[in-house]
A = this chain, B = another copy of it.
Amino acid sequence: MTQPTPIALAVDFGGTSVKLAAVDPSAHILARTSFDTASAPGVDLWLDAVAAASRTLLSSLPAGAEFSAVGVGVPGFVDFAAGFVHDLANVPGWTAVPLADRLRDRFHLPVAVENDVNAMAAGECAHGAGAGFRDAVFVTLGTGVGGGILINGRLHRGAHSMAGEIGHVSVDLHGPVSPMGIGGVEQYVGNRHIAEYAAARLRRGVSSTLAQACSGNYDALTPKHIAEAAAVGDALALETFDFVAMCLASMLASVSYVLQPEAYIIGGGVANAGPVLFDPLKKHLVQRLSPHFLSRLQILPAALGSDAGLVGCATLAFQAIPA
């Protein structure tokens, strides 16, 4: 009688929806479901909704299938070792939650609780663009800029589980002030800041197809509009991505001097811009990073798309099973 293949319950907890999947050790998603975050406010209702979703997932698997472990990625600060959620920025009712304990009480399974970006990093580095690297940094470009750091094949969490916050790496001594410091790269290349860079120039009268793309409502401009315009050669859109790439290159060069990873794996909505981001990024890295470091560094787009979180949660769940 052979052992059944272990299956992870992966829970990608977002501010808008909670995505769940049954995932096997090769990162195949066997079944998936989701519920709206707002439909299950607070920890107790959330646990009920996750339990119900887990039954839904099992019902679409062969009879007798069971979960072997649970992995959760949450949008906020987590103490990984304790499985403790300090606080979720955009989800009310999630302060100081011993989530791993609560999940173990409910499911009687090994549990991993990690922040969402580290979970994506674990997924990309185990089964995506980072597979095969021992030392890599996952970067996600969206509303904010997040990071997950792989050292010697394991996530590096630092002294108190907060490492990898590369969006707050400063690129300018005298840059914008935020609660996280001064001149953090996220203040330049977060979605809103990218749109604002182009919008400010449109307001000053720079001519661009972007004015039509947002129907003259500059406040409605998004990085996606700008990426599409750049792809067909709009000068302002190209200038905007060149500026974004310069800021990112400064941060990535700094991270390389600290860590010397083998690769950056770059995902998130802004990374979908493709060559209009990656080409100038490589150009600016030549100016900002010594060839000793740059010649052996790979810059790769993420490969798992919106499944990176689920795959990563499963990866961490399997790692939580005692050997």
Contact = CB atoms under 8 A, between A and B. Distances in A.
A151 B159 CA distance: 9
Interface in A196-217: none
A88 to B, nearest CB: 14
A293 B162 contact: yes
Nearest to A162: B260
A160 B290 contact: no
Contacts of A303: none
- Copies in the assembly, this chain: 2
A169 B246 CA distance: 15
Contacts of A163: 257-260
A289 interface: yes
A36 interface: no
A166 interface: yes
A87 to B, nearest CB: 10
Interface residues of A, number: 51
A181 B288 contact: yes
A151 to B, nearest CB: 6
A288 B168 CA distance: 9
Contact of A169 (B134, B172, B254): B254
A46 interface: no
A134 B177 CA distance: 32
A292 to B, nearest CB: 6
Nearest to A158: B260
A174 B284 CA distance: 12
Nearest to A159: B262
Interface in A215-273: 246-247, 250, 253-255, 257-262
Contacts of A177: 287
A85 to B, nearest CB: 14
A256 B178 CA distance: 16
Interface in A140-174: 147, 149, 151, 156-174
Contact of A173 (B77, B165, B246, B296): B246
A182 interface: yes
Contacts of A158: 135, 259-261
A134 B255 CA distance: 20
Interface string A114-157: 00000000000000000000110000000000010101000011
Interface of A: 77, 134-135, 147, 149, 151, 156-174, 177, 179-184, 246-247, 250, 253-255, 257-262, 287-290, 292-293, 296
